[in-house]
Structures are given as structure tokens and as C-alpha cells.
């Protein structure tokens, strides 16, 4: 009976972590859609390169948050929405600006490591705070990071595929929509943390 209860309790933990992972990956999905939009000819392996970076950061942030002190996390929580807003809005404005550029080579390219890392940091900051809460909930952190990383990877690949299909149908100027998506995510995060905190 005890073993059955433990198995059930463990299963509920896993289900909870999966739900949390899906919630954390919403912004990642939107960023992946915008990446697919501006890279309509992206290959499967190029998509994996983007998705892996997004997944690694989303998985590592809870691990870092789990190991951090309460004072540091509180400080980060006061700044996380501003960091995400600046990073995402900056990328979005750059994307819109470069959509009017004739020099395709200089346009924002999610295949560049610095762009991928910028998107990954911006969309994974909330996971830092989630990781901190895991320490109090006594969740198994290694299993949690694995689940969060796996879900983020799958969501990223789906977002890239969706963005690629939409981009192919609606033309090259979809970069503008991709930029607007990034700015909108940044604003959403900022509003959620300032008005509804």
C-alpha cells in the first residue's frame, strides 16, 4: 500500500512538472515560430541546433535557481521581466528593421549562436524562479530539468515547423510579424510582472 502511494505521489510530481514545463515553453514556442518565419528554408538539422540551445537554457535555469540563495533569487525576480523585455524587444525591433534591408546576409539569423543565446536567455528567466521553488517542493531536480528540457525541445521544433509553413505561404515580409511576435512576448512578460505581480 505504501509503495502504491509512493508511486502515485511520484506520478503526480511528474505530471505537475510536465504541466510546468508546458507553461514555461509558451514563450519558447512563440520565439521558435518567429525563427521559422524568417528562416522558411530551414532544415531539420538547423532546427535542431536552435531547439537544443533553447532547451538547454530552459533546463539549466531551474537547476541554477534550485541551487541559488533566496536573496539572489529575490533580486533576480525583481529584474527578470525587464531583462526579458529588453532582450526580446531588442531582437524584435532588429528583425523588423532588417526586414526592410536589401542585404539579406546582415539580417537577424537565429542560426547565429549569439542570437540563439539571446532568445534562450530571454525565454528561460522565469524558469530560474521555478527552480527555486522546486527546492521547497522537494522535487527531484535532475528529473525535473530533463522533463523541462525535453518538453522545450519538442515545443521549439513544433514552433519552427509552424513558423516555416506560415512563412512560406505568406512571403518574405513575414519577418515583420516575427519581430512583432518577439516584442509582444516581451511586453506580455513586462505587463504580467508589473501590473499583476
What pTM was estimated for this model as a whole?
Answer: 0.71
> Between helices 26-38 and 70-99, what is the axis angle to 10°?
20
Of residues 59 and 99, more confidently modeled = 59
State residue 25's pLDDT score: 85
Q: What is the pLDDT of residues 5-18, one digit of tens each?
A: 344 445 557 887 88
State residue 8's pLDDT score: 41
Q: What is the pLDDT of residues 124-150, one digit of tens each?
A: 887 887 777 776 666 678 888 999 999
- DSSP 8-state code for residue 171: -
Is a pLDDT exceeding 60 seen at residue 93?
yes
CB atoms under 10 Å from CB of 74, counted, come to 12
3-state helix, strand, coil in the chain (%, to 5): 85, 0, 15
Is a pLDDT exceeding 60 seen at residue 20?
yes
Q: What is the pLDDT of residues 158-170, one digit of tens each?
A: 999 998 887 666 6
Closest CA to 109 of 180, 30, 35, 163: 35
State residue 5's pLDDT score: 36
Residue 47, all three cell numbers? 532546427
Rg (alpha carbons) of the chain, rounded to whole number: 18
Domain ranges of the chain: 2-195
- The pLDDT mean for the chain works out to 78
The number of angstroms, rounded, from the C-alpha of 179 to the middle of its chain's C-alpha atoms is 16
Closest CA to 122 of 33, 195, 27, 20: 27
Is a pLDDT exceeding 70 seen at residue 113?
yes
Q: In the predicted model, what is the mean pLDDT of residues 66-86?
A: 68
Confidence band of 182 (pLDDT split at 50, 70, 90): confident
Confidence band of 175 (pLDDT split at 50, 70, 90): low
State residue 161's pLDDT score: 93
Q: In the predicted model, what is the mean pLDDT of residues 35-55?
A: 91
Amino acid at each position: 500500500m505504501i509503495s502504491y502511494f509512493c508511486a502515485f505521489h511520484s506520478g503526480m510530481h511528474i505530471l505537475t512538472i510536465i504541466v510546468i514545463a508546458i507553461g514555461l515553453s509558451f514563450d519558447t514556442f512563440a520565439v521558435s515560430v518567429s525563427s521559422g518565419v524568417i528562416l522558411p528554408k530551414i532544415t531539420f538539422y538547423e532546427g535542431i541546433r536552435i531547439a537544443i540551445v533553447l532547451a538547454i537554457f530552459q533546463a539549466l535555469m531551474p537547476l541554477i535557481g534550485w541551487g541559488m540563495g533566496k536573496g539572489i533569487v529575490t533580486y533576480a525576480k525583481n529584474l527578470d521581466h525587464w531583462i526579458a523585455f529588453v532582450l526580446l524587444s531588442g531582437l524584435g525591433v532588429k528583425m523588423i528593421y532588417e526586414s526592410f534591408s536589401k542585404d539579406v546576409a546582415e539580417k537577424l539569423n537565429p542560426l547565429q549562436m549569439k542570437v540563439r543565446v539571446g532568445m534562450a536567455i530571454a525565454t528561460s528567466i522565469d524558469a530560474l524562479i521555478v527552480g527555486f521553488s522546486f527546492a521547497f517542493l522537494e522535487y527531484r531536480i535532475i528529473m525535473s530539468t530533463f522533463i523541462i528540457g525535453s518538453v522545450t525541445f519538442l515545443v521549439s521544433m513544433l514552433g519552427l515547423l509552424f513558423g516555416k509553413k506560415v512563412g512560406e505561404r505568406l512571403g518574405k515580409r513575414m519577418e515583420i510579424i516575427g519581430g512583432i511576435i518577439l516584442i509582444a512576448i516581451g511586453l506580455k512578460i513586462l505587463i504580467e510582472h508589473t501590473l499583476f505581480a
